[in-house]
Amino acid sequence: MSSKALFTFALFVLAAGTSRAQSPASSSQVASNASTPGPMSPREAAEMRADILMARKEYSSAISAYERIVANEPKNAALLNKIGVAYQQLGAANHAGHFYKQAMKADKKFASPVNNLGTIEYDKKHYGKAIRLYRKALVFQMDLATVYSNLGYAYFANKEYSESMDAFAKALEADPHVFERKSGTGSIVQQRTMDDPGLFYFFVAKSYAAAGNAERTAHYLKLARDDGYKNFLSAQSDPAFAHVIKDPLVQEVLQVAPSYDDAAGRPQPN
């Protein structure tokens, strides 16, 4: 990473998560400080280096860097949560869960570790526990789009489809691009896996259709079709698709026969 890129990343990290005690200042002073940031303390620089290791996906090194800071700040919930995320990225679910629980103890109103522990339970197929944790995280009003999206996944996996649709709709209301986000290593984990992708994509298509987004409806309807959801033609009569069903993009998807088509040339609705 070049020195310019490193400095830019440092500014991002400081803006995103590093709190610094400041005395009251005039608007001109604030503007001056914003354009010319002061030197970082050794403590701030240490966390920045750890964050950079996370961004580079050097998770083991990031864990070591965070743990050196936590040795002096054992109740720093944000750092404990970051360690949990790093362990989760390494596939060490039990270690991740331990640090999420420690973060929750350190700050009982911190939503990220509550949500993140929910993703651990989801991966263990403990969907009821995941749902309870996501609903608890929503109380703290933090990154509603991610948590509602995760809640929708959990309801979907638990075959509570009506509740799943409601959660997805709220996720899209909070962030219309929530399902388009690239995976990353932030402090809050967004669920990405499911057991029945064809059906899942159909539900996402329904959510976009209800929101009136024909382009994204067509995209996810195509994914549902191509991932083997044979009943995707039910969109033609499903009230959720009524606002977008006549859009040319949606019609184009419905007119193309998938590879698993039957002898008649079209998949048959159940």
pLDDT tens for each residue of the chain, 270 residues long: 433 333 333 333 333 333 333 333 333 443 444 455 678 899 999 999 999 999 999 999 999 999 999 999 999 999 999 999 999 999 999 999 999 999 999 999 999 999 999 999 999 999 999 999 999 999 987 789 999 999 999 999 999 999 999 999 999 999 988 888 765 557 899 987 878 888 888 988 998 998 899 999 999 899 999 988 888 889 999 998 999 999 999 999 998 877 665 533 444 444
Q: How far apart are CA 214 and CA 221, in angstroms?
A: 10
Query: Is residue 144 situated within a structural domain?
Result: no
Q: How far apart are CA 221 and CA 131, in angstroms?
A: 26
**Residue showing tokens 């329904």:** 206
* SS3 assignment, position 177: coil
CA 201 from centre of chain? 16
CB 253 within 8 A of CB 221: yes
Query: Is residue 222 situated within a structural domain?
Result: yes
| Structural domain span for residue 241 | 197-255
* SS3 assignment, position 258: coil
Query: Is residue 246 situated within a structural domain?
Result: yes
Query: Is residue 226 situated within a structural domain?
Result: yes
pTM (2 d.p.): 0.76
H-helix or E-strand containing 176? none
Task: Specify the number of domains making up the chain.
Answer: 1
CB 155 within 8 A of CB 167: yes
CA 259 from centre of chain? 32
Q: How far apart are CA 74 and CA 108, in angstroms?
A: 15
